[in-house]
Structure 1
Amino acid sequence: MSKTSVTADIFSQISERERQALKRLADFSNVETLPEIWDLVAKRCGDTVALRDPHSKPEVVITHTQLLEKIKQFAAGLQALGVKVGDRLTLIADNSPRWFIADQGILMAGGVNAVRSSQAEKEELLFIIANSGSTALVVEDLKTLNKLRSRLNDLPIQFIILLSDEAPPSSETLKVLNFSQLMESSANHTLQPARQKRNDLATLMYTSGTTGKPKGVMLSYGNLMHQVTTFGTVVQPEIGDIILSILPSWHVYERTVEYYLLSQGCTQVYTNLRSFKKDLQQFKPNYMLGVPRLWESIYEGVQKQFREQPENKQRLINSLLAISDKYIKARRIAENLSLDHLDASAIARLSASIQASALFPLHALGEKLIYNKIREATGGKIKQMISGGGALPKHIDNFFEIIGVEILQGYGLTETSPVTNVRRTWRNLRGSSGQPLPGTENKIVDPETRKPLATGEKGLVLLKGPQIMQGYYQNPEATAKAIDAEGWFDSGDLGWVTPEKDLVLTGRAKDTIVLSNGENIEPQPIEDACVRSPYIDQIMLVGQDKRSLGAMIVPNLEALQKWAESHNLELCIQDDNVTETTSQKINLESKMSQDLFRQELNREVQNRPGYRADDRIGPFKLILEPFSLENGMMTQTLKIRRHVVMERYHDIIDGMFA
């Protein structure tokens, strides 16, 4: 499909309000690749600060004009070292202005970058370097280089760039330059235009694989440009608006929304968890990107302050919050924005409108006494907070609506660049993940038959649009499983669509568990490690949208019986009231039993190669009924049907994380 027909298709699907928003992006209508954007931005708002890092020493402040020049310098330096169009370079670094300069410098030079955090495991990084076919490395600092150095001679690496100004090792056999040396080397080289097109590969972003090996998601310039040229339907920033950046810049969600906001002349301020609260008040951001865990941390901080108030003030606060909760729910029904009342009659909406009007004065009192002060703690100038990387808990959504801070929940995956759906300010249906971006389609199908389901029916979510990846790098089998012949991408998520095309997610069909901090966990390798314990017969990890993993465990009763006998105890399966403090009998809920399984889980998980802190299993529950074909919890190939287990033990799982 030509670029013109794609544009026409996008404009045919959107509202007049969205159409007006897209006109702001008219400058990019003839742009093929991301690096071309920065010249246009510099011409429009060159003196505006683009990147600011207040935590570096000295503080870094770079205008949009300076940013363009630094990207060009970096690109020219790479070309002087021999980088040609299509060459792969692995970029291993974390949030900083130099990350952005390196990212766009690689693309401007014509290279394809494979990106990952410097904190990632050594074996994972080495796999990415090898799998991507990288011939050069750009790394955070000497510490990162030293972590990898012993194995680099086995790879076709021609040179290494440090993003720090540390002196390169004098004994190094590979060519190593620091950031300043690379920038200086560009002085004698004229940057040659890469002349790439939208269908050309821009970046490889590695996502977790079920075997433990990451898969390289191939994102083209067209994939990334779709995000830049359609996100104007979501937020419309003004030149100089402040973005507070805390998520990893190499993560596709942060990365592509950063591209959009910076393309609009915004100023990005880098922060971190330690400085986050102070930076909120100092820099007063207009926009923030975050995962549910970040919003939870703000909520918990506010709740902590509430609990420190005198009892009479706590009662007042809780009373006003309860009234405001009723007010916003009534207002949603009146505005036809209540997920639980989408089919509300005109009379029901009128009744809700009357209720909201009656409650408004008390809500306004809460605003005057409490809510405006909470907003001041976030800087007081937030226009919207954009949330992704997992489902937003209902109480968090409600709380921020009460205090007048708007959260726009979005949805997508690395394979979709990532945003496919997002709530809009004029259609902020809480509990949903919003309507599709322009040019994007959602389809709900039966997970087994793949037959399309009617509006409102729950099934497997398929996605289609210009942001869908080109495929998994050097992995045609995985690509064929993910994208069908008609171009529909299998999200692995379950959900349904409202009559107004809002996507509502209800669970996972695929194995991947996404924690509330945005980390993706593949459960199978961890489960395989856990069943090495003689006491664990079957295990299924849970924890979608939670802070940590949890587990449903079917114990090996024979091994458990022998363990009990070795401790002169009698294992009692049925009598839930028996504990070792009142008898020589124990049950599955007793402290000794729980301690045994906690010890087993910790040992097996931590001894697993590539262990990460997010792999740790938190709450767990011992259950007696095995997963089997007979009870429908296993497939014909004896794989656990995770969504069935989740449905069966829904209340127990919720209780584990309460």
Structure 2
Amino acid sequence: MGFVVWHVCADQHAYSRREAHRLEGTDQWARNSWEVASRVWRVQRARWRRTRVPGFGALQTKPLCASLSDRVFSIDGSKHVHPSANDGFPDGQEKADQAFRAARREAVYEKLRDPWFYPKGALMRTLGWTSVPCIWETLAEAYRDVVALIDEHNPHHEPIRWTYASVHEEIRAFAAGLRHHGSMKMQPGDMVALFSENSARWLVADQAIMWNGAATAVRGTAAPVDELAYILEHSNAVGLVVDTPNVLEKLVRNENATRYLISHIRFIVLLWRGKGALTEDVQALGASVPMYAYEDVVKTGAQQVRNAIEMVSTSAGDGLSDRALWHPLASTEMLATLVYTSGTTGQPKGAMLCHRNLLHQIYCNSFSRSWRPFRPSQDASAGEVMVNILPCWHIFERTSELYALSRGVTMVYSKLLHFKEDLSRHRPHLMVGVPRLYENIYQGIKSQLMKQRRFRRLLIFGLLDVSIRFVHWRRVRDGALFDRHVSMPERLLACIVVMLLWPLHILADLIAWRRLRQAALGGRVRTLVSGGGSLAMFLDDFFEAIGVLLIVGYGLTETSPVVANRLREHNVRGTTGLAVPGTDLKIVDPETRQVVSAGQTGIICARGEQIFQGYYKEPEATSRVFDSDGFFDTGDLGFFSPHTGDLVITGRLKDVIVLSNGENVEPTPIEDTILGSEYVEQVMLVGQDQRSLGALIVPNLDALEANALLNAEQRMRIQSLQRERATCGSFEAGALDEQLAREAASLEGNAALHTALQKELMTRIESRKNYLPIERVTRFRILLTPFTVDDGTLTQTLKVRRNAVSARYAALIRSMYES
């Protein structure tokens, strides 16, 4: 039977309106953001009003499948009913009840698999998930034979292709092994340090630890050993999971780490044991701390599951006594993970994120909140492919993975060395990255174009200019400008210009952009997601011009991370979009802490289900970042657009440069403008307590040569030194840095190059909207040692560590201002 019901998005629309009412007494423009979202939901409700779902009178927010999952469990792809499940029920009634619930559950799964159905997050709220690992039973049933994980670049170089059913079984087996293998005896509330780079086994380990009610303290292995030792000790870890023995070799060379490992760690698990013998230092550590291989732990856990199945099949005895074999032990408010902030200054702090925080991101993150005819949802859908390049332990990548996997996406783990190859081989539909990743893609495309013959190069750049003009006028037509009001005559004019440019834009797509998307992104990319830093406007223009949707989000580690993002139907460039459902935002004055009006810059404060519990073992630091109303102080500067209601990020309070005349300058927007130059690869502004701004510039050598500002011999010599510097040890680095410094001084002595760079800086900065004279960069120095993660000048999300760069080049900066 079927009942005509309201579509789930009607419930979501009501949810959005309730959230708008919660903003009473806060900033008016935050409410405007919700009003825009509410209007979108009203359109969607009208178009999707009547939908037939078997067995539903209405979609409730209470769990639909909880009672069924208590009675039915899945092992190795087959369904089993607990013997106690039939107690008190006649066989016929029980069978009818099971059939009804199975049909009801299948109706939900069908909607999850439907690419036209959204918002999927609202439907997921009905599934009764109480923790993050609870999602895997649902995903194993909804997307059973869909490939979930592809890992071809793991340390064993053994390609992994796991379906959703396989991932569920692997997680459950590893979780059981953590409780029963050897002397591990993992218990709810334990803290386990997880130091690893991207791999399928990382995800399994992370989810299995959470399954047992324990929490992970995560970090990448490229982090400095002192930082890893600090996290290990500060988190009070009782266990350690690492990807390879190399991490242990790194740790045992640190005195503090070795002492803590021997005195406090109960077990160590190697995700990838390696083919060769362990070093003497690691073997000595193994004599003091039990050390286990991933395969052995999974084998023990799988045997525990099989034994329980056999017991359940014969009687209801001890097979049901270990609840964790059937259901995760974690609950909504339990600590799920400690993510240590990799900020650009200071000692990292452990942000405590609970399961509620992460589930909010699964439910509420979306690329679109409205329905459009003849177009499927822009959100991730079952069977689509997503290539991952960001560190899997970083909260942005982590929640992006959970979001995509909850929608049935195939996740491909890539590495920087194989990234271009993976784009061509797997041809992703979605990609999540930081601005630096998209800058590299953009620079790579421009470098290839610069090598084309003159006529072809001029043709493509001419077409690009036409397409950029087209998208600019299209934004005016749609009123999608955050910094000014678009009048009706302007819109009418824009409509005419768009119609005139449209044939040329389509021609450019046929001639160039399709081939470019194929060569650079695999040809199927529909959506790019950017976060973790400020995105330069020229990147927005470029990707929109070549026909790729670029979605920008905003958040921090402490906010799990997304608090606002742009949408397909409301994609206002230069902004970070509207607040996600269930989130309150306000802008306050840094001094008075009073809410400011629209268009005024202040500190962004957020409140919602995704906000963290606090900093681990640092109650004073926690109390400083929350106000009396429960709003979290992000420390970022921004404002609400008075024209669209979108959130605009202008910089970070701690990054502001104060000149000697007392003027405050936010460096990030100026740096983003400078990065639009083909001559500039990396840049960082300086000038604290100076009369004017200066810049440290890492130039694009290929572009300099293409414009006859550098000869081929000098370019090859510098690039050879740079490659040698990137792979050398610390002993040789000093000598190579001196050689590169001499080459940089030689470039600065090139009058034509110096003049071209100075002119480029002046032209780009002075062309900025609302340009102020204090933003002029009056001097610069060339650096030929790029900022990297390995030398500590970049964070692992590729943001410049300003304090590290300033300290390293203090003498150079001082000489720049003294000269």
Residue pair 1:21, 1:233 contacting (<8 A) in 2 also: no
Give the structure 2 partner of residue 97 of structure 1: 200
Shift of 1:257: 1.0
Q: Which amino acid aligns with 2:491?
A: R
- Alpha-carbon offset, residue 189 of structure 1: 3.6
RMSD, aligned α-carbons: 3.5
Superposition deviation, residue 185 in structure 1:
2.3
Separation of aligned partners in 2, 1:580 and 1:368: 45
Tell whether the 8 Å contact from 1:463 to 1:488 is kept in structure 2 after alignment: yes
Higher mean displacement: 30-39 or 163-172: 163-172
- The reply to whether residue 46 of structure 1 matches residue 166 of structure 2 is no
What is the aligned partner in structure 2 of residue 182 from structure 1?
Answer: 297
Identify which of 151, 170, 174 aligns with 1:70.
Answer: 170
2:264 to 145, 156, 172: 156
Q: Summarize the Cα distance change of 1:298–1:63 in structure 2 as closer, same or farther, 3 Å threshold.
A: same
Whole-angstrom CA distance in 2 between matches of 1:188 and 1:100: 21
Whole-angstrom CA distance in 1 between matches of 2:457 and 2:290: 63
Q: Does 1:420 align with 2:563?
A: yes
Which residue of structure 2 lines up, in the alignment, with residue 140 of structure 1?
A: 243
Query: 1:495·1:503 contact (CA, 8 Å) conserved in 2?
Result: yes
Q: Structure 2 regions of 5+ residues with no counterpart? A: 1-10, 20-37, 46-116, 306-321, 369-377, 659-664, 676-681, 692-747, 751-757, 759-778
Q: 2:635 aligns with which of 492, 506, 514?
A: 492
Distance 1:6 1:370 in 2: 41
Shift of 1:542: 5.8
Distance verdict in 2 for CA 1:464–1:354, change over 3 Å? same
Answer with 615-624 or 128-137: which moved more: 615-624
Letter of the 2:177 partner, please give it. Answer: G
Deviations 1:342-367 (A, max 9, x none): x1111111111111111112222211
Greater mean deviation of Cα atoms: 365-374 or 59-68: 365-374
Q: Percentage identity across aligned positions? A: 36
**Counterpart amino acid of residue 134 in structure 1:** A
Higher gyration radius (CA): 2
Alignment check: 8 A CA contact 1:291 1:389 kept: yes
Aligned position for 1:272: 415
SS at match of 1:421: strand
Q: Distance in 2 between matches of 1:548 and 1:174?
A: 46
Which residue of structure 1 lines up, in the alignment, with residue 653 of structure 2? 509
The separation in 2 between residues aligned to 1:555 and 1:463, in whole angstroms, is 34
Give the Cα separation in 1 of the matches to 2:612 and 2:815.
Answer: 40
Task: Give the conservation status (yes or no) of the 8 Å contact 1:85–1:110.
Answer: yes
**SS of structure 2 residue aligned to 1:354:** helix
1:575 paired residue number: none
Deviations 1:427-456 (A, max 9, x none): 110111111110112211111111111122
Structure-2 separation of matches of 1:225 and 1:508: 28
Equivalent residue letter for 1:47: D
Residues 606/326 of structure 1: CA separation in 2 closer, same or farther (3 Å cut): closer
Paired with 1:35 and 1:327, the residues of 2 have a C-alpha distance of 46
Q: What is the 5 A alignment of 1:471-620?
A: 471-499=614-642, 500-511=644-655, 547=682, 549-552=684-687, 615-616=804-805
Q: Is the 8 A contact 2:120 2:363 kept in 1?
A: no
Report how far residue 39 of structure 1 moved: 0.6
> Would the alpha carbon gap of residues 206 and 48 (structure 1) be closer, same or farther in structure 2, given more than 3 Å must change?
same
Per the alignment, residue 362 of structure 1 pairs with 504
- Deviation, structure 1 residue 318: 1.9
Aligned position for 2:330: 196
**Counterpart AA for 2:410:** T
- For the residues of structure 1 that align with 2:652 and 2:581, how far apart are their CA atoms? 25
Q: Residues 362 and 607 from structure 1, CA distance in 2 versus in 1: closer, same or farther, beyond 3 angstroms?
A: closer
Q: Is the 8 A contact 1:323 1:363 kept in 2?
A: yes
- The C-alpha deviation readout for 1:595-618, integer Å capped at 9, x for no partner, is 99989xx9xx9899x999964459
Say which SS state the counterpart of residue 395 (structure 1) adopts: helix
In the alignment, the residues of structure 1 paired with residue 556 and residue 625 of structure 2 have an alpha-carbon distance, to the nearest angstrom, of 12
Do structure 1's residue 463 and structure 2's residue 606 form an aligned pair? Answer: yes
DSSP-derived class of the 2:365 partner: helix
Equivalent residue runs for 1:412-451 within 5 Å:
412-451=555-594
Aligned residue pairs, count: 560
Kindly state the Cα deviation for residue 243 of structure 1 after the two structures are TM-superposed.
0.5
SS in 1 for 2:119: helix
TM-score (norm 2): 0.63
SS in 1 for 2:639: strand
Which amino acid is 1:467 matched to?
Answer: Q
Aligned to 1:390, what secondary structure does the other structure show? coil
Tell me which protein shows more helix as a share of its residues.
2
The alignment partner of 2:188 has SS state of coil
Secondary structure of 1:316's aligned partner: helix
Q: What does residue 237 of structure 1 align with?
A: 380
CA contact 2:584–2:607 (8 Å) conserved in 1: yes
SS where residue 468 of structure 1 aligns?
A: coil
Q: Secondary structure of 1:298's partner? A: helix
Hey, what's the Cα distance between the residues in 1 that align with 2:781 and 2:435? 33
